[in-house]
Structure 1
Amino acid sequence: MAEDLVLDTAIRDWVLIPLSLVMVLIGILRYFVSKLMRTTQSPDSKIIKEGQVVVRARNLRAAAGFIPVKAFRARKVYFTNEENGLLHVPKDQAQNPQAQMFSDPNMAMDMMKKNLSMIIPQTLTFAWVNFFFSGFVAAKIPFPLTQRFRSMLQNGIDLSTVDVSYVSSRSWYFLNLFGLRGLFSLILGEENATDDTQRMMQMSGFGVDPSKSLGAEKDGLDIVQHDWVLPKFEQRAVSVLRKRLSS
């Protein structure tokens, strides 16, 4: 049977509140350090050109029914031609984003700075929590949970008789690490540099491949079925005019 614990108010004052406050302050400090370490890169003309081509192709797909079929086919060939179409990317010119990152020293250095600004504060904070607050039961969740949450909420406490709703100090650290994203968005704005979940996904080194967006837009334009809406407008206008004349 799970045991209920009576938490001392000193744990709230000297463990729970300081740990949460330190996590918020470290997140804000890391945001400003990341801004100072961020390098300004000039926009690549090739990426801008490819983005404009994708926008033009999307506009063509959206407004395909407002132009005649001959004009649509001419524009479609202009974009999707296998020889010199704007959306066609030869296989020998498609570049791996990971290889592009290592070929550009500024991009690789910027990625390393971002990773260091995340790893070093997290390592020091976790060592501080593990040294001073190891074994503390910091809080209790006000609703019942199943046994599957025990490993997530009671990290560092090897007592199977304690109720699952009690949270250890080490688990509270991880909950704050991944749960303060909304608070940082309110304090620092939507585009802040403290999104640890996104940072961990970016640590693999993979970026955005512009050739994939061109290929996806080419496939979308190939399957478009042209349906000219102007004859329908003419028929509708004639029917409306006949109804008014008959009335």
Structure 2
Amino acid sequence: MAEDLVLDTAIRDWVLIPLTVVMILIGILRYFVSKLMQSQQTPDAKIVKEGQVVVRARNLRAGANFIPAKSFRARRAYFSNEENGLLHVPKGQDQNPQAQMFSDPNMAMDMMKKNLSMIIPQTLTFAWVNFFFSGFVAAKIPFPLTQRFRSMLQNGIDLSTVDVSYVSSRSWYFLNLFGLRGLFSLILGEENAMDDTQRMMQMGGLGFDPTKNLSAEKDGLDIIQHEWALPKFEQRAEAVLKKLVS
């Protein structure tokens, strides 16, 4: 049977609150440090041009049924022609984004700076938490949980008799590490509130690949079936007018 614990207020004042405040301050400090370390890069004209082409192709797909079939076929050929279409990527010209990263030293340096700005603070913070706060039961979740959450919420506590809703100090660190996105969005703005899960997904060095977007939009235009919506709209309008008159 799971035991109910009485949490000391000193643990709240000297473990739970300081750990949360330190995690928030480290997240804010890491954001400003990464901004200072980020090098100013001029946008690549080729990437900007390809991005605009993708946006125009998406607008064409979205409004395809509101233009005549002849006009749609002409625009689709303009974008997806195999010889000189804007969305056509000749073989041999597509570049692997990882190879592009290694060919551009500035991109590789920025990627390394972003990874270091994430790894170093979190390593030091985890060592600090593991040394000073390991073994504390810091909080209790106000609703019951199943046994599957024990390994996630009670990291560092090897007591199977403790209720699952109790959270250890080490688990509280990980919950703050991956769950402060909403607070950072209020403090730093939505675009600057990237959490550590997304940063870890980007640590592989895979950047933006415009050739994949061009190929995807080309395939989307090739398979779309044109069905002009304006004649049906006129018929529906006439039917509504007849009902109103009658």
Which TM-score applies when normalising by structure 2?
A: 0.92
Report Cα offsets for 1:158-212 as digits up to 9, x if no partner.
Answer: 1111111111111010011111110011011112165211110000111121111
Aligned partners of 1:14 and 1:74: how far apart in 2?
70
Letter in 2 for 1:33: V
Q: 2:99 maps to which residue?
A: 99
Q: For residue 178 of structure 1, what is the amino acid of its counterpart?
A: F
In 2, the alpha carbon distance for the partners of 1:102 and 1:35 equals 22
Match of 1:129 in 2: 129
Residue segments in structure 2 that go unaligned for 5+ positions in a row:
none
Cα deviation, residue 54, structure 1: 1.3
- SS of the aligned residue for 2:142 comes to coil
Range that drifts further, 55-64 or 137-146: 55-64
Question: How many residues were matched structurally?
Answer: 245
* Matched-pair identity in %: 87
Change in 2 beyond 3 A, CA 1:14/1:81: same
How far residue 82 of structure 1 moved from its aligned partner, in angstroms, is: 1.3
The equivalent of 2:190 in structure 1 is 190
Name the residue aligned to 1:40. Answer: 40
Instruction: Tell me the residue number matched to 1:210.
Output: 210
Question: Alpha-carbon deviation of 1:68?
Answer: 3.1
Post-superposition offset of 1:72: 2.2
Residue 75 of structure 1 deviates from its aligned partner by 1.9
- 1:61 lines up with 2:61 in the alignment: yes
In structure 2, the residue corresponding to 1:191 is in which secondary structure? helix
CA distance in 2, matches of 1:149, 1:237: 58
Indicate the SS of the match to 1:219.
Answer: helix
**C-alpha separation in 1, matches of 2:135 and 2:68:** 73
Per-residue displacement from partner, 1:35-70 (whole Å, max 9, x unpaired)?
Answer: 111112111111111111112222222333343333
Which moved further from structure 2: 50-59 or 144-153? 50-59
User: Cα deviations across residues 1-58 of structure 1 (Å, max 9, x unaligned)?
Assistant: 1111111111111111111111111111111111111112111111111111112222
Judging changes above 3 Å, is the alpha-carbon distance between structure 1 residues 5 and 47 closer, same or farther for their aligned structure 2 residues?
Answer: same
* Residue 84 to residue 144, structure 1, CA distance change in 2 (3 Å): same
Moved more, 94-103 or 106-115: 94-103
Between 230-239 and 189-198, the greater mean CA deviation after superposition: 230-239
Matching residue's letter, 2:62:
A
Q: CA RMSD in A?
A: 2.1
Gaps of 5+ in 1: none
1:164 aligned partner: 164
Match of 2:118 in 1: 118
Q: Does 1:75 align with 2:78?
A: no
